[in-house]
Each structure stands twice: as C-alpha cells, then as structure tokens.
Amino acid sequence: MAKERVFSLDAVRTDGWFERIGDGIGSFQALCDIVGEAFFAFSMITGARITALTVDRRNPDNTLVDFVIAAGGEDESDADVQRLTLADFRQRLVHALLTDDTMPAAPERDTDVEALQLHIGVRYLLLAPLLRLPPAQARRRGGHLAAPPGARRHPGKPQTHRGPGGGSPANFREGAGNPPLRGDPPSPL
C-alpha cells in the first residue's frame, strides 16, 4: 500500500484575489453589477476578457457581451472579439469551469508549491475562496491528492459564494450545443 503524505495548502491559498484585482479596475463595480460578481470572477478564471457590454435594461439576459480569449502566447490585440448574450456567456462560463483538465502528478516534495498548484489546478484554487472552501490540507495516497476525512463542512448542502475572484484561465472552448469560441485560453500561471 502506498504511503500517505499530508500537504499543507497554506502556501497555495488565494483568498482575496478577486477583491485585489477589483482595486485596479475602474469599472469593476459596474461590471459586477451587470454581469454578476460570480460570473465576472468566472470570466477571469477562464481567461475571457470582457471588452464591451451593450446593456438591455428591459431584459438583462439579452445584454450583449463582447470578449476576447487570447490563444497561448498570442497577444490579446490579435484575438478576435466574440459576442454572446449575457445568458449564453454565463452558460459558457459555467460549462468551461466544469470541463475536466489533465492532472499532473502529485508533488514529490512537500515544499514544491508550483507542482502542488498545478496538481490541484489553478482554477480550483481560485474558485475555493469564492465558494467559501478554504483549503486546509490534502493527503497524498499513491499518486493522487485527496481531501482529508471530514473536510466538507456541510455535507449535502450547497455552498454559497461571497463574491468574485479572478485569475488564471481554464478551458473556455466551444462544446456541444454552444456557439463556437475562437482562440485557446492562455496557459495558467
């Protein structure tokens, strides 16, 4: 049987990342009000940069969202602007967050912070404070990390978010039934 190791996740915590980004964006509150704090945070996590909004005050779901996704190594100015209704944009963000990523091997050393970040996934590290799931520790069994026993605070209850957070890109590509998106997201970290 593989030896179990415990990794502290204090070094990879991302608490307050969304609020810190908001401090540097002049239109931050307006974007949060129109798109929704959580969805604005999701757009940052997926690498979809909102470039313009055409607001429909009678039917907010029909608000048009213009955004770009720069392919890895591509300058955003070279990326094509894409447009979706707010409802479709939100749906695509959630779809992008729910797609599976390839998972690198668990870190060999307790002090390898970058390997730990990559193994857990930057997307999940950024989502954790939004969903009020602060990481405490993870246990390594064999080649995979697992949450420690009793790690869920309220089993069976949905977690609520306290507001946005931004971050590194995830998978925001076209999927079945979704309008096509052009460009690959930039690589995380």
Domain assignment present for 181: no
Domain assignment present for 187: no
Domain assignment present for 157: no
Domain assignment present for 93: yes
Question: In whole angstroms, what is the distance from residue 21 CA to residue 162 CA?
Answer: 15
Regarding pTM above 0.75, the answer is no
DSSP letter at 60 equals G
Domain assignment present for 85: yes
Between β-strands 49-54 and 4-8, what pairing exists: parallel, antiparallel or unpaired?
A: unpaired
pLDDT one digit per residue (tens) for the chain, 189 residues: 556 777 778 888 888 999 999 998 888 999 999 999 999 999 999 999 999 999 999 999 999 999 998 665 566 666 789 999 999 999 999 998 888 777 777 788 878 888 888 888 888 889 988 888 765 655 555 555 555 444 444 434 333 323 333 333 333 333 434 333 333 333 332
Q: Can you give the residue range of the structural domain that contains 57?
A: 4-146
Helix then strand then coil, in percent of the chain rounded to 5, is: 35, 15, 50
Output Rg (C-alpha) for the chain, integer angstroms: 18
Domain assignment present for 66: yes
Taking the CA atoms of residue 185, residue 180, residue 51 and residue 25 in that order, the dihedral angle to the nearest 10 degrees is -40
Cβ pair 131, 89 in contact under 8 A: no
pLDDT of residue 2: 59
